[in-house]
Structure 1
Amino acid sequence: MEPEYNILNHTKDAANLQETVPPLDISLKLQRSMLQLKGHHMTEDGRGIDYERLRESELFREYIDLSTRLVTCDPSSLDHTHKMAFFINIYNSLTIHGLAASEELPSSVLGVEQFWQKTAYDIGGLVYSLDDIEHGVLRGNKPHPSASKRPFSEDDPRAKISLKSCDPRIHFALVCGAKSCPAIQVYSGTNLELALNSAATNFCSQEVEVTAGGVVISKIFHWYASDFGATEKELLQWVCQYLPVSKQEQLEKLLASGHSVEVKSRDYDWKLNKL
């Protein structure tokens, strides 16, 4: 059964939305808007948001108005890099919009019923929830970790928007509204490679601990293990490249020892990433 979407960017003033907006134009405007919101209502490191002040601000009202332009935006013309940047920004913007629009801020995003399945934008006449964006578009139409079915069927027009492959670094760019989520950044087609490398490096440096007997990692690596490698060793080899030199050397020594490496997942803090 299809979810009952909560579409946040529909407007009654449809007469003003007849002109199609080029996706690169709307992407640039959204980037600028998010940078302004980040500068005024988020911590410098991007890990905390003042939702109360944000949702009362003129900047947020301007962002909401701008989000209605997505209805006339067709992202199918974007190349792989610009499409990835576009949908990462949309995912993070939609998360913030969805939480800020709540009648009462939850203590945890888990307290909002089907938040990721229902919270959605209309983009070019097609509806995308947070789950649709993450799994259907950015992960290359791969099933949710708890599902076996692909998000988009072959005859779903959104399937044409899906990226052809999954870049695991997206997991360190997408912000789900929890304290253990990665930091909020704003991405563009021109800075995407460097920005994703930076996001992966920052996250792995903070969330991966290498000890004499094993490794402690974020649950993100557990949930999306297949995105990082076919085996646990391949996952750790992937992680290794984004660690500081000292941790990298430790992990390389463990992997080369021939002994099994104990891998544990640290607890995930689902409390809302609010100030």
Structure 2
Amino acid sequence: MLSKFLALLAWAGLYRVGLEILNADAPPSSAVVSPSNAVDLTSRFMQQLVDDWVSHDGRTVAYAALEQSPFYKRNFQEFRSLLKTVDPAQMQGAERKTFFINLYNLLTIDAILSMYSLPRSTLSVTQFWRRYGYQVGPYTLHLDDIEHGILRGNRPHPTSGDVMFASDDSRRVLTLPADHRIHSVLNCGAASCPPLASYFASDLDRKLDTSMANMCRDGVTSINKSTIIINSIFEWFRSDFGATEEEALRFLANCSDDPARSSALNAAAEGKRRYTYYYDWSLNNM
């Protein structure tokens, strides 16, 4: 019971545990890789993982098989070493966004496999999003740093309200303009997360548009006469989709390709339909 309570406090940013740098013991790679090549290598690394250990729909990961594979034992170690030689501040905007989207998903998987045994849920792991990180060139970054500090434009955490990078934090140079579409591609290891995929800088915007459209479709799981069930991402990150809850619901209605769903969501925005939010935190284990 205590561990669950601490995990909830940690998720809300109200409890801290020590940061575990998963590549702390990895020797820096001797290979000289340009920023653009590092982005491409990360994309291709993620693509191999998705091709071999993720289900066709991107929803589940074969964690046990991956953990025992040469890919995880050898290639992941080489990747961790490579990260120490990369300076993401030298990447162009689209490249940096691509790099950190893939890195977030890779770090999540690596963090899950670093535990003694698979958790029932990442939410049950105390301070999961601030407990595990990588050394990326001169920067130390955990999952919350990547999501909120970099990909959300250093916007406040949705529950704790704190920002990842203070005004004098050297990591602020990595911050990108906020893009609501990143919520359709970041996977935190839960069943209700967006599907896993690999992203490449050459067609990132197209893939983000497609992923966002899919999330608008899949983010409303049930519409009946009594209520509408919406993925909780649209509640937690409401400010990324609109200034008010009404605007966030209208955003969801406008990006839906189903007229009936759009009509129901617009009615909910007007207070004429009941709605609720739901998220399945079960581990996305195959």
* TM-score of the pair, normalised by structure 2: 0.87
Matches within 5 A, 1:1-275: 4-14=18-28, 16-17=29-30, 21-60=33-72, 61-163=74-176, 165-208=177-220, 209-210=222-223, 215-247=228-260, 249-251=262-264, 254=267, 259-262=270-273, 264-275=275-286
Give secondary structure in 1 for the equivalent of 2:278. coil
Q: CA 1:233 to 1:70, structure 2 compared with 1: closer, same or farther past 3 Å?
A: same
Q: Offset of 1:98 from its aligned partner?
A: 0.7
State how far apart, in whole Å, the 1-side matches of 2:56 and 2:197 are: 10
Q: Is the contact made by 1:216 and 1:263 (CA closer than 8 Å) also made in structure 2?
A: no
Question: Structure 2: which amino acid aligns with 1:27?
Answer: V
Q: Alpha-carbon deviation of 1:212?
A: 5.9
State how far apart, in whole Å, the 2-side matches of 1:120 and 1:127 are: 7
Cα distance in 1 for residues equivalent to 2:207 and 2:260: 22
Cα deviation code 1:60-116 (max 9, x no counterpart): 231231122111111112222221111100000000111112111111112222111
Q: Which runs of 5+ in 2 are unaligned?
A: 1-14
SS in 2 for 1:241: helix
* Identical amino acids, percent of aligned pairs: 34
Deviates more, 1:95-104 or 1:206-215: 206-215
Q: 40-49 or 202-211: which moved more?
A: 202-211
- Indicate conservation of the 8 Å contact 1:20/1:73, yes or no: no
Q: CA offsets, 1:12-56, max 9 Å, x none?
A: 534x44x65322212211211221111111101110001000011
Conservation of the 8 A alpha-carbon contact between 2:130 and 2:142: yes
- Opposite residue 267 of structure 2, the aligned amino acid is L
Letter in 2 for 1:75: P
Q: CA RMSD, aligned part only?
A: 2.2
Letter in 1 for 2:20: N
What is the SS of the residue equivalent to 2:246?
helix
> Counterpart of 2:133 in 1: which secondary structure?
strand
Q: Is this contact kept in 2: 1:210–1:247, CA < 8 A?
A: no
Gap change, CA 1:40 and 1:225, over 3 Å in 2: same
Q: Output one character per residue of 1:139-165: Cα deviation in whole Å (capped at 9) or x when no partner.
A: 0001111222211011111011101x2
Which range is displaced more, 141-150 or 123-132? 141-150
Paired with 2:283 and 2:239, the residues of 1 have a C-alpha distance of 27
Q: Distance in 2 between matches of 1:74 and 1:253?
A: 45
What letter is aligned with 1:81?
A
For 2:19 and 2:106, the matched residues in 1 are separated by 17
Q: Give the structure-1-normalised TM-score.
A: 0.90
Distance 1:40 1:259, change over 3 A: closer
Number of equivalenced pairs: 270
User: Structure 1 residues 34 and 12 mapped into 2: Cα distance closer, same or farther (>3 Å)?
Assistant: closer
TM superposition shift of 1:265: 2.9
- Tell me the SS of whatever aligns to 1:72: coil
Contact 2:105 2:188 in 1 (8 A): yes
* Distance across 1 between alignment mates of 2:256 and 2:225: 16
